[in-house]
Amino acid sequence: RKSLEMVARDFLATTQTADEKQIRKDHHIKAFKNPSEMVVALTLAATKKATLSWDRLIVLGIMSGLYISIGGAVALTVGGGIQPVMSTVINGTLVAAETQIKVPILSKLVLAMVFPIALMLILFMGGELYTGNVMVMTLGILTQKVTILDLIKSLGVAFVSNYIGCVLGALACWGMGLFTADPYASFIQEVMIPKVSNNFGVNLLRGIPCNMLVCTAICIANTAEDVVGKVVGVWWPIFTFALAGFEHSIANMFFATLAALHGASWNYGTWFWQNLIAVLIGNTIGGGLFVAVVMWRCFYVTGKPPVVVQSEEKITPSGATYTKSPAITRKNRPVSDLEVEMAVVKVEKSDDIELDSHTPVNSSAAKNKVDKDQKDKDTI
């Protein structure tokens, strides 16, 4: 593995020629990763998650539950604070309270608008969220970067620690008395009504598109190279799932615990089985099957590697050819781990990628070719 990385770094170094420096001006930057690069970045994330110690994994999982609680508390505050009326005056006449025109979408709309702050906090602060780990660790399994035991450890610890964080967040909100008075107290119960009244199958189905959107948000965040791009990319998918009424298992931990602390009429154990377990299964299917498997099958290197960036064939002074990719290397900065990983994947997976028309890429041939090209450049 170390020799492959050395070859990859040398190969990438040879692509940054004088011609490339003229093509790529100082202000030219790569603003985002393409899907193939994004999948490799997520597989690297899987390997890092697999190496986390138990204590770090537990702490980061609890913090993720607390971040979900913060986002949920803000969402309940703005959602519950909007009275479900469109107007109290019609043609200059005050309408009686019992006949006011209700617009329930208003509270749902503002709730959905602010809830994405929860995932933003998790991504920027490096949390461990069960629903996101489903996609990342499944990609790690599919690309053979992690083991089944790594997946079980990551998902199991994340689930339990997320639950602890959400319970702590709900207890904190209850202890501070944030939602003890109406309209907030009644709004919490209103939010929980569909979650406890729907049957197991409905909750499971609502969990699938929810985590498809959550994992899509994580993919976009990994695609973007700047903070603004990550924020915008996260906001839209999370806003969509919250507005549509899909079910997120970790968020439900906070909402259900908070509602129970404020005197819910339904049974907590019934919610746990009928909603949480069902939504958890749906979230796992949505993130693992409909995102991780699809991204792996369509964009990860299998057989002949896909073109990671638009490439251009160059001829060395000796007459040999090699492929340069201007978007891979940037002027005045070292090669990143992602770029090395992409090159290593190419070397490992392919026998038909060539540095010239005769020599296929492998660890020894590639190293010899890199040395030869470097000597040619030094001679010139």
Per-residue pLDDT of 232-255, as tens digits, reads 999 999 999 999 999 999 999 999
The share of the chain scoring above pLDDT 90, in percent, equals 52
Antiparallel, parallel or unpaired: β 312-315 and 93-94: unpaired
Q: What angle do CA 55, 60, 62 make, to 5 degrees?
A: 95
Q: Quick: pLDDT tens for 137-149.
A: 999 999 999 999 9
Q: Quick: pLDDT tens for 108-120.
A: 899 999 999 999 9
What CA–CA distance (Å, rounded) separates 286 from 135? 9
Average pLDDT over residues 283-287: 97
pLDDT of residue 31: 75
CA 283 distance to own-chain centroid: 13
pLDDT of residue 81: 80
Stronger pLDDT, 184 or 149, i.e. the higher one: 149
The shares of helix, strand and coil residues in the chain, as percent rounded to the nearest 5, are: 70, 5, 30
Count the helices and strands in the chain (H runs, E runs). 17, 4
What CA–CA distance (Å, rounded) separates 76 from 98? 24
Tokens of residue 358, six digits? 């005769």
What CA–CA distance (Å, rounded) separates 221 from 186? 35
At 349, the pLDDT band (50, 70, 90 cuts) reads low
Cβ count within 10 A of residue 267 = 12
Cβ count within 10 A of residue 78 = 15
Query: Model pTM?
Result: 0.72
Average pLDDT over residues 205-210: 97
Cross-strand partners of 94: 89
